[in-house]
Amino acid sequence: MSAEDYILGPILDECHRITGATSGGVGLLGCEMGGQAALRLAYRHPDKFPIAAAIAPAIDFHLGMRHGHDWADGELFDTLWEIFDEPEQARQETAILHVHPLNWPRHQWLVSSSNDARWHDGAVRLSSKLIALGIPHTAILDENTHEDLVSAFADDAISFIMKSLEAEARRVS
């Protein structure tokens, strides 16, 4: 079973069991690789995940396969070679390539710091694509913080998800 199938099956079932909800969708939040995954899942399954928030999303995670050996934490990207045969195959699975112009999550939020040389360009490209397609989203891209983005924006991300869940509840009711 793939990680995506596991989330779409047992994890989503458990979310519905805990909340008692069978419709209305689930909100996703992640940072770096988790942020990219949250966005990708929401783009692939916007009916199940109408809310996605990402802090410093690793949109260009495939670069870890190409340049990870030069990064202090590059060994973290070694597992990508177990999933993908080559970086191009990984690139084809990035969130930005799963944006559909007619079917997207209704609530999208992301933040990326211009200080983040590794992931910022991908976040800017994603936001630019969403703007070009006329897809509403909130993107905080000019944040030039020296503080950890998770510490600086976790409350904002949770607040976005809570407000979006309330909006979804009103929409579904």
Q: CATH number, domain at 134?
A: 3.40.50.1820
Contact 55, 153 (CB under 8 A): yes
Q: Measure the CA–CA gap between 136 and 139, rounded to whole angstroms.
A: 10
Same domain, 85 and 113: no
- Model confidence at 154, in pLDDT bands (50, 70, 90)? very high
pTM, entire model: 0.92
Q: Given this model, what pLDDT does residue 15 score?
A: 87
Same domain, 69 and 127: no
Q: Collect contacts of 151-154 with beta carbons under 8 A, ≥24 apart.
A: 153/55, 153/111, 154/55
Q: Measure the CA–CA gap between 171 and 173, rounded to whole angstroms.
A: 6
- Model confidence at 55, in pLDDT bands (50, 70, 90)? very high
Q: Which domain covers residue 150, as residue numbers?
A: 24-59+100-164
Q: Measure the CA–CA gap between 127 and 141, rounded to whole angstroms.
A: 9
Q: Given this model, what pLDDT does residue 68 score?
A: 86
Q: Given this model, what pLDDT does residue 170 score?
A: 83
**Is 6 part of a structural domain of the chain?**
no
Q: Measure the CA–CA gap between 130 and 110, rounded to whole angstroms.
A: 12
Same domain, 39 and 76: no
- Token pair for 138: 């909130």
Please count the structural domains in the chain.
Answer: 2
Q: Given this model, what pLDDT does residue 172 score?
A: 60
Q: Give the residues across from 55 on adjacent strands.
A: 31, 111
Q: Measure the CA–CA gap between 159 and 125, rounded to whole angstroms.
A: 25
Same domain, 44 and 124: yes
**Which of 55, 17, 8 shows the shortest CA–CA distance to 155?**
55
**Is 36 part of a structural domain of the chain?**
yes
Q: Measure the CA–CA gap between 102 and 134, rounded to whole angstroms.
A: 10
Same domain, 109 and 149: yes
Same domain, 46 and 82: no
Q: Given this model, what pLDDT does residue 24 score?
A: 67
